Amino acid sequence: MISASNLSVRLSDKPVLHGVSVEARAGELTAIVGPNGSGKTTTLKAIAGEVAYDGTVRINGHDIAALKPWELALKRAVLPQSTVISFPFTVREIVRMGLSIGGTAGAAQTDRIAQEALEAVDLTGFSGRFYQELSGGEQQRVQMARVLCQIWEPVTSGEPSFLLLDEPVSSLDIRHQLTIMRLARDFCSRGGGVIAIMHDLNLTAMFADRMIMMKTGRVHAAGSPQEVMTDEIMEAVFGCAMRVNVTPHGTVPFVLPHTAAH
């Protein structure tokens, strides 16, 4: 379980987060949604230990402030919102960076795991390609393969690990969006946990166990998609009129804006 309590962050002397609390359980996909600039990335960075914060972040009861970098790297892997790589690395080299950080695999396993991670993101055969020569969506899937290599086993020595994903499907076509969301769900069903920042509310409703809705550096609402996807909460968070409905053959909510023009 990840338990972040009362996180406050200032960036360049500007207050960005104001007492944000987030809980993410193993076995569950927790989605963070909210408008641009609402503090989603900053929250994920604080949970990852990548930005200075007031408050506490615990992973499986361990205060991350007391963990060494290599200990943290075994407990969580981070997919950043964008990754600029200025050296001509190949796909194979980038994916293996995950393995060298995680360090859970022996030498004999590394080739197999790197290969399987690329297969999982539908990039079989891309090993020798240069990262810079790939499309944005392909690059995003390479980064996802790297993250999977870092945390190949969702549970290690009885402790769940976590994937922290900042907009993992933002550049992907619909088929690959489903590929990546199913991978995240599969990681959860094998005992790990996932926190994913999402923009597509309908994809989120399909895949997330819990949604955390942020607005202006605070948590506005948190709960299951059924609980928090209401007309009132959606409008309050995103500032535009939206109508929530449910799919004809189930209970999954979906949302559409009231009108195309305003």
Ligand X SMILES: Nc1ncnc2c1ncn2[C@@H]1O[C@H](COP(=O)(O)OP(=O)(O)O)[C@@H](O)[C@H]1O
Note the residues at the interface with Mg ion (CB under 5 A): 40-41, 81
CB of 214 to ligand X, least distance (A): 7
CB of 40 to Mg ion, least distance (A): 5
**Cα–Cα nearest to 32, from 232, 210, 243, 217:** 210
Phi, psi of 162 (to 5 degrees): -130, 140
Q: Count CA within 13 A, CB hemisphere, residue 29.
A: 26
For residue 238 the two structure tokens come to 């995103």
213 interface partner picked from ligand X, Mg ion, none, CB below 5 to 8 A per type: none
42 interface partner picked from ligand X, Mg ion, none, CB below 5 to 8 A per type: ligand X
For residue 254 the two structure tokens come to 């979906």
- DSSP 8-state code for residue 132: G
Closest to ligand X by CB, 26 vs 213, is 213
Closest to ligand X by CB, 34 vs 225, is 34
For residue 75 the two structure tokens come to 């407990």
CB of 14 to ligand X, least distance (A): 5
Which residues of this chain interact with ligand X, rule CB under 6 A? 11-12, 14, 16, 34, 36-42
Please tell me the chain's helix, strand, coil percentages from 3-state DSSP, rounded to the nearest 5. 35, 30, 35
14 interface partner picked from Mg ion, ligand X, none, CB below 5 to 8 A per type: ligand X
Closest to ligand X by CB, 38 vs 161, is 38
Distance (Å, whole) CA 60 – CA 54: 19
CB of 63 to Mg ion, least distance (A): 25
CB of 74 to Mg ion, least distance (A): 25
Closest to ligand X by CB, 17 vs 151, is 17
Phi, psi of 254 (to 5 degrees): -135, 160
